[in-house]
Structure 1
């Protein structure tokens, strides 16, 4: 049936096998059950979305999948490297865009920043390289946030409300990048309360009452 009994699979999982999987995830906060036995299996070459109302537990689930938050029960298996784009950009306000690239190049143990520079060109904020992050607009901070999550070319990309603050052109580029990642066998998971168009997703899931359900599958 998949990686574990009862695991929710996308239509791609049987062909490719799961790259990101979770079984039986449960989490309580102050007596309230936020996650209630969440199961998930996502393969390589997939764009998946998890949607739900504010407070439904989407960010909690993402933090558990990342390993940033320990579940009360259940397990997560992640195959390969991951990139994370949090809802609120984690940037040093006094460092310039270029300095962030150097900092993350060192953290990722990369030999250069060429991939980041290509992403910056695609996202159209090369003119901001010398600006401090604290002086950037919210949308440009989110562009930098996305660039830093992608510059080491991760196998799995986890995104929390990634396109808030983007104008229409940047929104389109975002989905172009996501499709290119999928075509190269990467897994992209977008967590958002707002889905203006479900077309880019291969599978769209809803989180409600602590459980995941398929809203739309590409099978």
Structure 2
């Protein structure tokens, strides 16, 4: 469970190709980063994997259930953290009380359950968004720009959350235009430019400088 196979997936919006013939194989339990500039097709690809969008061409297979944390949190801001968690846990197709308790603990939300979501910082709202996205205890977790707009401490907490997912054996697919945030966390890296994969490789153990050299060297390529 948790393997993702993408074969020749494309998505057009009118005459614009947002994603063009993307093929990737993401192993189970892998932290897989998809990096690229804004408008390179990263979020479109994630939306396809989540079933939010239908691909124009190609096929893909996700072996297991999917949890999705959007870049911009889609929460009930007038409700408390606890009320949001209860609402979304009732929508989850699977999962259990022990998993929900573990998620609350790992996300550092235990002391915030009675706080209104609309009054939280952007970093804390991001943690709540990730929490509600994984209440079903999914095999595959999709994180769209999880560190965008966050301060250094909030980014650190996001990285710790990703490490928790990896320890739990989850497959984690991250899109980002801030690859430097994920040094030492990613197992594999794919670089998207103008909707195409221009580079893919193993990056286990590489720090932020090495990742950025790979990314910068890939950006001049458009296949």
TM-score, normalised to structure 2, is 0.82
Aligned counterpart, 1:164: 148
Alignment equivalent of 1:194, drawn from 170, 178, 182: 178
Alignment equivalent of 1:42, drawn from 1, 26, 34: 26
RMSD of aligned alpha carbons: 2.2
Aligned counterpart, 1:204: 189
1:150-187 CA-to-partner distances (Å, cap 9, x unmatched) read 22221000010112344434433332332333244321
Number of equivalences: 203
Alignment equivalent of 2:126, drawn from 132, 142, 159: 142
CA contact (8 A) 2:39 2:194 kept: no
Distance in 2, Cα, partners of 1:150 & 1:139: 17
- Stretches of structure 1 lacking an aligned partner (at least 5 in a row): 1-16
- Cα deviation for residue 54 of structure 1 reads 0.5
TM-score, normalised to structure 1, is 0.83
Distance in 2, Cα, partners of 1:218 & 1:138: 29
CA contact (8 A) 2:107 2:161 kept: no
**Residues 201 and 118 (structure 1), Cα distance of their counterparts in 2 relative to 1, 3 Å cut:** same
Runs of 4 or more consecutive aligned structure 1 residues displaced over 6 Å after TM superposition: none
Distance in 2, Cα, partners of 1:77 & 1:146: 23
- Stretches of structure 2 lacking an aligned partner (at least 5 in a row): 205-223
Distance in 2, Cα, partners of 1:168 & 1:118: 24
SS at match of 1:76: strand
SS at match of 1:45: coil
**Residues 111 and 153 (structure 1), Cα distance of their counterparts in 2 relative to 1, 3 Å cut:** closer
CA contact (8 A) 1:139 1:164 kept: no
